[in-house]
Structure 1
């Protein structure tokens, strides 16, 4: 990966060098075959857990890496530049840990967080339902209190790591009717709980190494101690993590675009027409220049939002902007990468056709880019904030 980086500490710089080496030596050689065979790379997540990548943005006291989001998102970029399915998986795992980190009791954190952040347990996030994608308050999955337990019934669609995760962070209705935002609660459900099952993974256009499945809850009984926060706080927990999740996907999209650009530049330097490398033909050189500008613009937007988050400042609007800009740019850059390679770009002999297929979903999950535009415009209507702070 050719991106030039300025990291806040020497430790962070060494971390990025380690991840870049792992990506090149361990991830890149496996990615094409795993994606072609639609094989979930569980051993890769174990490796990333062992080196501390899965818990990077969380506190060291519970087994995390204690790194700021500015660093964590650049780690995601390095991974996604060679294997987007894994980059998405790392982001989803971090999101699945958010509820426990932010709303769990100290006993809950001590009991579960070390294994979750240490990487021995892989997480998944169950919010969307088939009829309620961008409107989570319309969910119908229920959690009925029965003594010292809750009994969950319903189905959750589009679950990344569905059928592969070790635990599921689940939003379910404990009161009210669909549409009632105050009747939703959050639970941590172990994968081996009786009554919990996964449908056959979705047959997707891209990210085929990342399994996405509907999770079904049929009288799934879990103890009260596995509820995170109070009853009715579930939607707050869910939405509280989405801004960070959007930054994760924005970083993955930026890494994906960088990987496509790297492939296109390497090809353009080697391929010759009319007696010279095609990168020296102005028509194609300008396409590459626009691709580079798009990648760098996306990265700057993502890091701006991350630095606001790290400073404890509002960043919801900026997270939506970053997600929208980075994913739209990734779609454009990967499409152009296929064009640069010409007929070869359309074959599976080169990875850019896969990158193009993978970029499309980045505009859809973690809130479609139409939803991001709604979030941004509503934010503009509410306030005229402009904060100046020092580093």
Structure 2
């Protein structure tokens, strides 16, 4: 089971944005690769802190996490730090470190190489799609195969060292100020900080050596997802040029309307209509649920508005806390038109002092007449 994000950062659930940022910086500095060279445990804690900060620093992600926990983001490769490498973390959150470590913009040296001189791996752009799901698919979980058009590195493309930054990924400037000579570094605008630029590119490729290709992507969607929830398939967005890393595919969930079921959280609601005779005498009815048909018993003398609860016949909790219920709302159907015999029957019933509306104390043959008359 994954650790709670608030526990990872050592903060309470009511922490402010400033407190979250402060707590993350403390953890990031504590477990920074430069401070813990070759320490795999420190590296894992460093990534956990980044994952927690990625979610808790975003208001929308934090709200979904508070409501649904880790499973709010599961499906198709996870999310946050679980799908991030060290390049991701420093490219997104390097400014948090405030220059505490070497390399411009929070870069680091001595860890996997490549960052000490400021060179960074460019990340491709994310793609977004919307997937519509039925209640049955949401209740049981489903694997969807979706065709996605994404940018990929063209065959035959080659790169060379950037002539502007000479492969460093950064451009250093020295300025004379009243305080003396000041040296500043910034990502190279020619190569975007990758240290490489296009050397040769085949016909049909864009200026970055990429072509658009259609690919079928398999997306595993867990049971219990909610309309508007967003899943992430790591590495299935647009690729990046050179030695860059691919972006992600963001999958927005859209819930289709059901013909006769209405969802409320993990519970489902079903309107069941029965006749007067069925309400008086009792009956059994077969109804459809998201997991198949079930037969329910309607007790004699049931009142309109009665709610029958079928436990565990709703939607599984996205947090794994069991299943919701199916609430069957009993509605007694009253006929709008009556024939002569039916009308006389109800007139007699209304004026008969010996008539009792309780089937337990009344003559059953009387109510059988009701069934025959309205069947």
With the length of structure 2 as denominator, give the TM-score of the two structures: 0.24
Larger strand proportion, structure 1 or 2?
Answer: 2
With the length of structure 1 as denominator, give the TM-score of the two structures: 0.23
Larger helix proportion, structure 1 or 2?
Answer: 1
Larger radius of gyration: 2
